[in-house]
Amino acid sequence: MNKVFFKNLGIIDFKEAWSLQEGILDSIIENKRKKEKTKSHLLFCQHPHVYTLGKSGKEEHLLLKNSELNNKGIGFYKINRGGDITYHGPGQLVVYPVLDLDCFFTDIHRYLRFLEEIIIRILSYYGLKGVRLDGSTGVWLENTESSYKKICAMGVRASRWVTMHGLALNVNVDLNYFNNIIPCGITNKGVTSLNVELGNKKVDFMEVESVFLSAFKDVFECEIINTI
């Protein structure tokens, strides 16, 4: 059974977490070049307010000027993942799997479906039905108006079958920050958060983390090794 080494980074600046992922990815690739055994990693964190724009994104989907970002204390980064623009902030569970897919399966589409499955299982734990939409990576909830709201955004990068970046699950998020962007470049659907869907009650964040770890272990059929 594959082992995945887990660490909760707590609240960490986006750029610092990005650099940490890059370092782990480079280390795994170097071990692969040497034909040495690799380690896969799973990182949890939360970020201070920040918008990130993926390689395929459009900068006009950020609706604020640089001066407005500075005044509001919000960071902005163009980054090397797939996808368009998204928001990270307090109350959001951000997950960065840095996995050597050679040890699991070499299929990025399957990898994304596995990540979606984990979120769907978490939502089911809370009595909610998460769904996939054709052509839109991530997990959504259908509301009473027969439209959809995204609760989990995803964007990944892979190099030599080593992954980085990942997903962001809205748990206790201030959704007003999404008003400053066109989330994921999608104009005809909304965004929601777990606490909103559960009647605007604050959700136990540590419980969500625990449910995620359990689902990750089951879906990827791996052993989770906690690290300090």
CA–CA separation, 94 and 209 (whole Å)? 10
Residue 144 pLDDT: 55
Residue pLDDT, tens place only, 16-36: 999 999 999 999 999 999 999
Tokens of 217: 């272990």
Whole-prediction pTM = 0.95
145 pLDDT higher than 60: no
Q: What's the whole-number mean pLDDT along residues 60-80?
A: 92
Residue 189 pLDDT: 76
CA–CA separation, 160 and 126 (whole Å)? 36
CA–CA separation, 48 and 7 (whole Å)? 18
Residue pLDDT, tens place only, 34-43: 999 999 999 9
Cβ burial 71-94 (10 Å sphere, 16+ → b, else e): eeebbbeebebbbbbbbbbebbbb
State how many domains the chain has: 1
The residue from 45, 152, 184, 222 that is catalytic is 184
- Mean pLDDT, rounded, of the chain: 93
For 27, the domain range is 2-226
CATH number of the domain enclosing 182: 3.30.930.10
**Inter-residue long-range contacts of 65-72, CB under 8 Å, 24+ positions, other chains counted:** none
Residue 184 is a catalytic residue: yes
Strand extents, DSSP E, the chain? 2-11, 40-46, 50-53, 75-78, 85-88, 92-98, 130-133, 136-142, 148-159, 162-170, 190-191, 222-226
